[in-house]
């Protein structure tokens, strides 16, 4: 059984080592006995979204995100159809913003976005919101760790993904972060989220393989992953207690 | 009268601060509170040279100062690396008469790239050297384009820019500025035709977003490029490394200025070249510059030699959260081709602030260490698991990789095993954790 992964805009939206999400997911899926094919694409022109079991987009500069948005909007309906049909997708950093109805840049110029969800994002070119993050997710046991690095606020999310314990939510005074739409996950947590959170990755693997007959998740040791996660969570909690 | 008193207070605070070890930033901070626009009220030297960029600022400034001093010029510069407005104010007021006149021939300023716009609000450098813009401390800096924007607000019309032509993003600053001077490195035997980094920040044109083509790369996105779409391209250079022999450890600038190198890393070559350019604009002769900088050993602790057990060690201080800095150190080790082991320590990610962010480890090309002559790779520090996980995604044979989280234990283990050369790659935030446990030479 071969699972197909699409890493879209892998050289445009790759600011924070995000390719590692694909590396770790590929390794986890192989451990479960699957063959994995990873397709990297700098444009969706020759891509058929419905061919894939998992689609990923990482974070980019503000200008890179606008270029990615311009490209993906040419196949807006196909992308939406794949999302509606239950394809698992993860969009991290400012790729998350593309799932909403619009992104407005620092100069006030507004760009239409995919519109899978109704939320709107506004960038501020003077102020960056950065910081370590701890959050919870109602369908995964145990906190997640990560980092927020953005210059925008997102308002009007109906179904958020995470609840923040440390770090910024979608907008000021909002503890909710990211969004979920069917099996599409959007979050402003940047970088190799799936490397840092092995329990969340397990959830992704189970979701990707959910319709495969006879699949049952085989546990593996993951000593370094667990060690890295626990140390980061411990260090962040120390900081949280001091604050 | 106010000027007189504020300068006096600043000098006194600097004196006291020097005794208690907090003299580089606080006096300037207080002076600015008392007199916010004091920097616009002073008589500054004829030459004000500023240096900014992601990597190489401190080393470049140190070398410029060394060359100028050897050639009889008096230079005031921020050698402690306090490179925001408070540190710069301490530097300037500390070097002024009580009447507000700076005494040295040249004022030389290392400036933080994100805060340069505040430092240069009240006065303009005569020359402004910009070294490079890399992914550096993204937990604070966002990303290179974000820093580019911030930096663009620090440039005055009357300033002459001295730019690294080999860095596309830096080169954008030269648009429409006729008197800009450019430095760069010609194609060398060590140039490569592909980007050997994990990512390629030179793949898209910083002006129009089109695809860029490279004639060659020196490292990461530094090289000779042009945009297929809008025609943006590497500018021809005024100060050029025309030849380099890294085996011998020698470069030639502008065809006839030979400079022997104490250290052959490519970033050292760029720092020397930038220093050469700076000293040329204040009127020094190329040969005189070359004569003053040959075999120069940096004093800022970037490279430290030590003994550990039977190992001869070299610390290559690299910057956490800066993959280019790491890549450069790793490539240097790979290029030495001598039997050795490598120790990588990631314990405190920054010395100035806390973060647990380790994304940057994935941007470092640790595959550079996949060489026969490298025997062991020791990993240590709080983030040892992150390091071990990162290395598990390289093709380096597993048996070479030895994670020992506790730095003491790790150092003791190395001390008791083997006699091969040892390289340590770590950051300023962590280097003392090694250096206090070894014999520094």
Asked if residue B162 lies in contact with residue B136, where contact means CB atoms within 8 angstroms, the answer is no
- Between CA A140 and CA A200 the distance in angstroms is 6
pTM equals 0.94
Closest CA to B225 of B193, B267, B197: B193
User: Which domains, ranges and CATH numbers included, belong to chain A?
Assistant: 2-242 (3.40.50.880)
| Distance from chain centroid for Cα B98 | 34
Closest CA to A201 of B349, B389, B346, B396: B389
pLDDT tens for chain A, residues 1 to 243: 999 999 999 999 999 999 999 999 999 999 999 999 999 999 999 999 999 999 999 999 999 999 999 999 999 999 999 999 999 999 999 999 999 999 999 999 999 999 999 999 999 999 999 999 999 999 999 999 999 999 999 999 999 999 999 999 999 889 999 999 999 999 999 999 999 999 999 999 999 999 899 999 999 889 999 999 999 999 999 999 987
Rounded to a whole number, what is the distance in Å from the CA of B356 to chain A's nearest CA?
6
Map out the domains of chain B with their CATH numbers: 42-84+102-293 (3.40.1190.10), 303-440 (3.90.190.20)
Query: Are residues B50 and B76 in contact, defined by beta-carbon separation less than 8 angstroms?
Result: no
Which 3 state secondary structure label does DSSP give B44?
coil
The mean pLDDT value for B286-315 works out to 93
Segment 85-144 of chain A within 8 Å of chain B by CB: 125, 128, 130, 132
CA contacts within 13 A on the Cβ side of B61: 29
Residues 13-42 of A with CB under 8 A from B: 14-20, 23
- On chain A, the residues whose CB falls within 8 A of the CB of B139 are 130, 147, 149
Which residues in chain A are closer than 8 Å to B379, comparing Cβ atoms?
Answer: none
pLDDT above 80 for B193:
yes
Contact B362 A64 (CB under 8 A): no
Q: Report the percent of chain B where pLDDT is more than 90.
A: 88
* A196 contacts A145 by C-beta, under 8 angstroms: yes
Q: Which of A10, A58, A61 to mutate to test the interface with B (most CBs of B within 10 A)?
A: A61
As a whole number of angstroms, the distance between CA B344 and CA B381 comes to: 9
Six token digits for residue B297: 């050993």
Which phi and psi angles does B219 have, rounded to 5°? -170, 155
CA distance B49 to B162: 10
Decide: residue B321, CB within 10 A, 0-12 exposed, 13-18 middle, 19+ buried.
buried
Q: Looking at the complex, does the CB of residue B392 fall below 8 Å from at least one CB of chain A? A: yes
> Of all helices (H) and strands (E), which one includes residue A152?
strand A152-155
Q: Which two tokens stand for residue B121?
A: 């609000």
- Decide if A17 and B203 are in contact by the 8 Å CB cutoff: no
What residues are paired with A88 via a beta bridge? A54
Any alpha helices (H) in B282-406, and if so which ranges?
286-293, 323-336, 384-391
Under a CB-based contact definition with an 8 Å cutoff, are residues A7 and A41 in contact?
yes
Task: Show residues of chain B in contact with A132, CB under 8 Å.
Answer: 354-357
Percent of chain B with pLDDT over 70: 99
The residue of chain B nearest to residue A148, with distances taken between CA atoms, is B139
Contact B6, B12 (CB under 8 A): no
């Amino acid at each position: 059984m071969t699972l197909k992964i699409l890493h879209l805009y892998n050289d445009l939206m790759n600011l924070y080592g995000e390719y590692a999400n694909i590396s770790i997911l590929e390794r986890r899926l192989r451990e479960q006995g699957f063959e994995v094919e990873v397709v990297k694409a700098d444009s969706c022109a020759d891509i058929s979204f419905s061919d894939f079991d998992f689609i990923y987009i990482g974070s980019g500069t503000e200008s890179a995100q606008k270029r990615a948005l311009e490209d993906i909007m040419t196949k807006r309906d196909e992308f939406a159809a794949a999302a509606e049909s239950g394809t698992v997708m993860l969009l991290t950093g400012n790729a998350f913003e593309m799932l909403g109805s619009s992104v407005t840049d620092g100069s006030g110029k507004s760009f239409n976005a995919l519109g899978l969800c109704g939320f709107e994002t506004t960038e501020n070119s003077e102020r960056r919101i950065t910081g370590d993050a701890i959050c919870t997710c109602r369908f995964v046991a145990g906190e997640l760790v990560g980092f927020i690095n953005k210059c925008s606020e997102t308002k009007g999310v109906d179904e958020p993904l995470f609840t923040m314990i440390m770090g910024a939510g979608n907008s000021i005074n909002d503890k909710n972060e990211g969004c979920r739409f069917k099996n599409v996950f959007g979050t402003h947590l940047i970088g190799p989220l799936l490397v840092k959170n092995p329990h969340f990755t397990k959830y992704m693997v189970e979701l990707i393989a959910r319709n495969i007959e006879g699949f049952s998740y085989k546990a593996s040791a993951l000593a370094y992953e667990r060690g890295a996660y626990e140390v980061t969570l411990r260090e962040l909690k120390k900081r949280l207690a001091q604050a | 009268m106010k000027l007189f008193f504020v300068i006096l207070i600043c000098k006194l605070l600097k004196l006291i601060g020097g005794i208690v070890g907090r003299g580089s930033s606080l006096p300037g901070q207080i002076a600015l509170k008392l007199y916010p626009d004091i920097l616009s009220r002073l008589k500054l030297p004829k030459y004000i040279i500023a240096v900014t960029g992601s990597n190489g600022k401190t080393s470049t400034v140190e070398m410029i100062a060394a060359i100028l001093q050897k050639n009889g010029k008096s230079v005031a510069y921020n050698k402690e690396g306090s490179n925001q407005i408070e540190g710069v104010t301490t530097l300037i007021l500390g070097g002024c008469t009580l009447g507000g006149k700076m005494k040295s021939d040249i004022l030389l300023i290392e400036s933080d790239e994100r805060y340069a716009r505040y430092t240069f609000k009240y006065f303009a450098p005569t020359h402004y050297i910009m070294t490079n813009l890399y992914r550096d401390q993204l937990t604070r800096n966002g990303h290179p384009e974000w820093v580019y924007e911030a930096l663009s607000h620090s440039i005055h019309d009357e300033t002459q820019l001295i730019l690294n032509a080999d860095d596309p993003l830096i080169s954008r600053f030269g648009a429409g500025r006729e008197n800009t001077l450019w430095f760069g490195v010609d194609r060398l035997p060590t140039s490569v035709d592909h980007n050997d980094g994990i990512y390629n920040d030179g793949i898209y044109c910083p002006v129009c977003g089109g695809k860029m083509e490279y004639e060659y790369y020196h490292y990461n996105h530094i090289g000779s490029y042009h945009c297929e779409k809008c025609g943006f391209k590497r500018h021809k250079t005024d100060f050029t490394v025309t030849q380099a022999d890294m085996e011998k450890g020698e470069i030639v600038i502008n065809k006839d200025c030979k400079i022997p190198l104490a250290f052959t890393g490519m970033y050292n070559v760029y720092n020397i070249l930038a220093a050469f350019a700076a000293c040329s604009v204040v009127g020094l002769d190329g040969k005189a510059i070359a004569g003053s900088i040959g075999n120069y050993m940096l004093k800022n602790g970037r490279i430290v030699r030590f003994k550990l057990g039977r190992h001869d060690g070299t610390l290559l201080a690299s910057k956490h959260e800066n993959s280019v800095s790491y890549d450069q150190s790793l490539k240097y080790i790979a290029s030495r081709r001598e039997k050795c082991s490598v120790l990588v320590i990631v314990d405190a990610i920054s010395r100035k602030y806390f973060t647990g962010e380790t994304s940057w480890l994935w941007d470092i090309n640790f595959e550079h260490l996949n060489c026969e002559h490298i025997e062991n790779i020791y990993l240590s520090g709080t983030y040892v698991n992150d390091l071990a996980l990162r290395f598990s995604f390289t093709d380096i044979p597993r048996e070479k990789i030895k994670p020992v989280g506790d730095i003491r234990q790790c150092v003791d283990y190395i001390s008791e095993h083997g006699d091969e050369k040892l390289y340590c790659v770590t950051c300023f935030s962590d280097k003392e954790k090694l250096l206090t446990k070894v014999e520094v030479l």
